[in-house]
Amino acid sequence: MTQTKDLSPVAEVEPAAHAHLCMPEDSRKRASRRLAIARGHVESIIRMLDDPHVYCVDVLRQIKAVQGALSGAGEVVLRGHLEAHVATAHERGDAHEIIEELMEALKYT
When asked if residue 97 is in the footprint of a copy of itself (CB under 8 A), the reply is: no
Measured distance CA(62)–CA(81) in Å, rounded = 29
Shortest distance in whole angstroms from residue 71 CB to a copy of itself = 7
Q: How far is CA 55 from each of CA 38, 47, 52, 104, rounded to the nearest angstrom?
A: 21, 13, 9, 37
**Restricting to residues 34-93, which ones interact with a copy of itself according to CB under 8 A?**
35-68, 70-71, 73-75, 77-91
Burial class (CB in 10 A: 0-12, 13-18, 19+), 41: middle
Shortest distance in whole angstroms from residue 91 CB to a copy of itself = 6
Contact 43, 78 (CB under 8 A): no
Shortest distance in whole angstroms from residue 24 CB to a copy of itself = 8
When asked if residue 26 is in the footprint of a copy of itself (CB under 8 A), the reply is: no
When asked if residue 23 is in the footprint of a copy of itself (CB under 8 A), the reply is: yes
